Structure 1
């Protein structure tokens, strides 16, 4: 099973972001990007990779323990940017310190499953689009995509969505079906209520 952990924004926040992203599809170069769907948007906390099904109880126990001691927190989807010349993302504002602590705790809890950590650190975001590449033209496509991504990120940069509360930690499975990747929440745990 290919697994990761995530926080899932509520549907109204995702719908508002989808409405803000829709006009970007008409900008120059947008048709050359692979756009993700609102149904797949999430805030990844840690990637686990392939995990044998028999290890799920151990993994779930560790994640439940993390959720018990980390509080629910207020966030909003806001701003935009890009990772290199490959990914367009929407950012996150609010109690990001709490989200960062949750991600650090999750990373620690799953370390024996992953065997390594992300060398780039935790950067909360929702992936909106990826630059495509064609055989033989990869470098040229990436250079053009960088300029396109700058334009798209600048167009979405002023966006600030509604505030919402992150209340659950999710264990997610990533599956490829018919060439498309689908994400499914296998299990979730409520975050602590410190109010």
Structure 2
């Protein structure tokens, strides 16, 4: 029996941006607002793959390596909450077309490879807090970060000593713009 890994494709945020977001979160959300996501775990999931065998992982990485799409600029300028899943998130008011295309491609490849895909439409977001209170007060508009996206990453989700860690397994470059 082959070993299964819990995998997902995501955008990695630059470490400096992760730290800026953590500082911003500390000044805009009270400590009781919810359980903060660790700085190193701040990312934007493109396609969740679930439990994947080594063979399927290889097929998915081969397909991902064939994606030929230019990089794009990601702007994070929106915050929201999903009360049912008790999550607060950062998002983008106008997600770049490149982001939406990349997620659609990866999700379609995963579905064709037999990986379960959520029937929910792709909603680009970075989870800030888990186990949030339904009365959570969201920060007022006016915040914004931008970063250039030049690659996407295949991650494994591992639980070590009771903590979830996301380990980058492989990076895939996006094309440079002309």
Q: What whole-Å deviation, never above 9, does each CA across 1:63-114 have from its counterpart, x for those lacking one?
A: 1012xx1110011222200112400001125652110000000111111345
Q: Paired residue for 2:105? A: 105
* Structure 1 segment 39-188 matched on structure 2, within 5 A: 39-66=40-67, 69-85=68-84, 86-92=86-92, 96-131=96-131, 145-148=133-136, 151=137, 153=138, 155=139, 157-161=141-145, 163-188=146-171
Query: Which structure carries more helix by proportion?
Result: 1
Unpaired runs of 5+ in structure 2?
none
In 2, the alpha carbon distance for the partners of 1:49 and 1:190 equals: 23
In the TM superposition, what is the alpha-carbon distance from 1:175 to its structure 2 partner?
Answer: 0.4
3-state SS of paired residue (1:51): strand
CA contact (8 A) 2:50 2:115 kept: no
In the TM superposition, what is the alpha-carbon distance from 1:24 to its structure 2 partner?
Answer: 3.2
In the TM superposition, what is the alpha-carbon distance from 1:57 to its structure 2 partner?
Answer: 2.1
CA contact (8 A) 2:18 2:39 kept: yes
Structure with bigger gyration radius? 1
CA contact (8 A) 2:34 2:129 kept: yes
Provide the aligned C-alpha RMSD in A: 1.8
With the length of structure 2 as denominator, give the TM-score of the two structures.
Answer: 0.88
In 2, the alpha carbon distance for the partners of 1:103 and 1:131 equals: 26
CA contact (8 A) 1:172 1:183 kept: yes
Shift in CA distance, 104/184, structure 1 to aligned 2, threshold 3 Å: same
CA contact (8 A) 1:88 1:130 kept: yes
Number of aligned pairs?
Answer: 173
CA contact (8 A) 1:74 1:94 kept: no
Unpaired runs of 5+ in structure 1?
133-144
